[in-house]
Amino acid sequence: MPTYRELIQTSSLERFDAQVLLLHIVQKNRAWLITHDTDLASDEHSAAFAALAARRRIGEPVAYILGSREFYGREFVVTPAVLIPRPDTELLVELAIARAPQAGRVIDLGTGSGCIPITLKLERPDLNVAALDISTDALAVATQNAAALNADVRFLPSDWLAAVAGEQFELIVSNPPYIEANDAHLTQGDLRFEPSGALTDGSDGLQHLATIITQAKQHLVSGAWLLLEHGWDQGAACRELLQQAGYAEAQTWRDLGDNDRVSGGQWRS
């Protein structure tokens, strides 16, 4: 019988991934591993770990194997129907929390797991929060997350803003698919398992950003902000799109990794 430590060492996985998968199987926290890593693993635990390790070895993301990922201090259910929440996106949430006026109407476009609107609603219960996605599979996951976390968010199927014709908001946010179609990352690592429709526009990466910037003008009250997550090299292009579309205060913010990550502008009509 191997010890838990030996299971991790012989898995040929990155140590952190192996630990996370093992802790999921034994249903314990990290502290337990420190004091029990030389315990013998039961056959049941060994077999279950071997099965998960095999999935990880062929590249399946840990979040899909576990079925959840932490975002802004809360656990969200994730399935292959949704993008795995990234820490980078917490910047978008922080900017939104700071800019949403009291009791404002906020909408998230392309919501995926729902991590953005659900976090906004839980951090700012005064807000009236809605979220859209073209994928009904994604909306099922987002709805499940909102129920589990007790967040009152309105979810609607929609091709960008089509489903809310005539509605106005005090803030619009989005983390749309912005990776260029020919970006090599799409065919490497964890991204291969994520929905390509959540990652890339199939073009130069700016198509959905441009569509949102144009469509949002009809839906922003005067003084309202549009905040968009984008790639590290898309800040200048985004600000230009915002300026050309007539937004004021076009600017870009950097994420914790010091990369351009969110751009936004204020609509004044």
Residue 201 CB, shortest distance to ligand GLN, in Å, is: 9
Q: Cβ closer to ligand GLN: 164 or 198?
A: 198
Q: Cβ closer to ligand GLN: 119 or 175?
A: 175
Query: How far apart, in whole angstroms, are the C-alpha atoms of residue 235 and residue 254?
Result: 9
Q: Cβ closer to ligand GLN: 62 or 179?
A: 179
Q: Cβ closer to ligand GLN: 45 or 239?
A: 239
What crossing angle do the helices spanning 207-216 and 235-244 adopt, rounded to 10°? 30
3-state secondary structure the chain: CCEHHHHHHCCCCCHHHHHHHHHHHHCCCHHHHHHHCCCECCHHHHHHHHHHHHHHHCCCCHHHHHCEEEECCEEEECCCCCCCCCHHHHHHHHHHHHHCCCCCEEEEECCCCCHHHHHHHHHCCCCEEEEEECCHHHHHHHHHHHHHHCCCEEEEECCCCHHHCCCCEEEEEECCCCECCCCHHHHCHHHHHCCHHHHECCCCCCHHHHHHHHHHHHHEEEEEEEEEECCCCCHHHHHHHHHHCCCEEEEEEECCCCCEEEEEEEECC
Residue 190 CB, shortest distance to ligand GLN, in Å, is: 8
Q: Cβ closer to ligand GLN: 39 or 88?
A: 88
Q: Cβ closer to ligand GLN: 49 or 178?
A: 178
Sheet holding 169-174, edge to edge: 153-157, 128-133, 105-109, 169-174, 220-229, 260-267, 248-254
What are the residues binding ligand GLN (CB under 6 A)?
Answer: 83, 86, 88, 175-179, 191, 199
Residue 256 CB, shortest distance to ligand GLN, in Å, is: 13
Residue 199 CB, shortest distance to ligand GLN, in Å, is: 5
Residue 177 CB, shortest distance to ligand GLN, in Å, is: 5
Q: Cβ closer to ligand GLN: 7 or 213?
A: 213
Residue 105 CB, shortest distance to ligand GLN, in Å, is: 23
Residue 191 CB, shortest distance to ligand GLN, in Å, is: 6
